[in-house]
Amino acid sequence: MVEKDAYRKGIDDSQGSGHRQRLRERFQTSGHRALADYEFLELLLTYSIPRKDTKPLAKELMKEFGSFSAVLDQSQEKLTSIDGLGSRSASLIRLVRSAMHKYLEEQVENRPTISKPEDIASFVRIHIGSNDRECVMLICLNDANKLLHHEIVNEGSIRRTPFYPRDILKPAILHNATGVIIVHNHPSGEAIPSEADHGMTSKLESLAGELDIRLIDHLITTPKQTLSLKTGRLV
């Protein structure tokens, strides 16, 4: 059933079916690179709004949120605030993001080892990079640098989150981790470490060492970039 608030400014499906078919054929032949960002979103929306032109709605979403990835990062409430986008379409958009999350999670879980920041950069960006509040994520590894466990251990405000060493290291002990990676996000969008970030890294490294746990790295992530405090490089 088509959602009641399907985009009202569109054209009838009999007029738009040829355009939709061309979009599908371009995607089937050449993948997402054959489509502009709004066209990719337009094609996605055809699966929840089958009888209306979804191009105006796709362009409105891009205008409102700024980019394709930003559209996927929005909550159900923010998506349905856009005129013409109902709960069914919002759920589809959020389902796509969740599928990406699941895909990257399994890639990390199935890696033989996690030996450098690049191995988990995409995973941490999609996991917490777009959070609108600063939070701390813990990644636990075994002796072979294989993933044992990951979780968000602290969540704070838009500007900062508390770093409580006990909360960070407790899951590592419970999961018998011998190595950990600490990750926190910067909602500002800039992966620039502060003096406090460097100070907490040193403190955690010292405390973890007393428990025979290696602090492998401390990463700062945003939706678009991840910084390794260990190497000083963006990945």
Query: Would residue 145 be called left, alpha or beta, if left means φ above 0 and alpha means ψ between -120 and 50 degrees?
Result: left
SS3 84: coil
The confidence score (pLDDT) of residue 184 equals 93
The confidence score (pLDDT) of residue 159 equals 66
The confidence score (pLDDT) of residue 2 equals 46
Per run of 10 residues, the mean pLDDT along the chain (length 235 residues) is 44 60 90 90 93 92 92 92 94 92 81 84 88 91 93 79 84 95 91 90 94 95 92 89
Contacts of 17 (CB under 8 A, 6+ apart): none
| H-assigned helices in the chain | 13-30, 37-45, 55-65, 68-73, 76-80, 87-109, 121-124, 165-174, 195-210
With contact defined as beta carbons under 8 Å apart, do 121 and 139 qualify? no
Task: Please name the amino acid found at residue 23.
Answer: L
Rounded to the nearest 5 degrees, what angle is found at the Cα of 17, between the Cα atoms of 16 and 18?
95
The confidence score (pLDDT) of residue 61 equals 96
Residue 116 has phi, psi (to 5 degrees) of -150, 160
With contact defined as beta carbons under 8 Å apart, do 139 and 183 qualify? yes
CB-based burial label for 87 (10 Å; 0-12, 13-18, 19+): middle
Name the token pair of 195: 């003096």
The confidence score (pLDDT) of residue 13 equals 45
Beta bridge partners of 218: 182
Sign of the C-alpha dihedral computed for residues 203, 176, 226 and 160 taken in this order: negative
Contacts of 193 (CB under 8 A, 6+ apart): 220, 227, 229
With contact defined as beta carbons under 8 Å apart, do 163 and 136 qualify? yes
Q: Report the CATH fold assignment for 112-228.
A: Cytidine Deaminase; domain 2 (3.40.140)
Task: Please name the amino acid found at residue 56.
Answer: P
The confidence score (pLDDT) of residue 48 equals 93
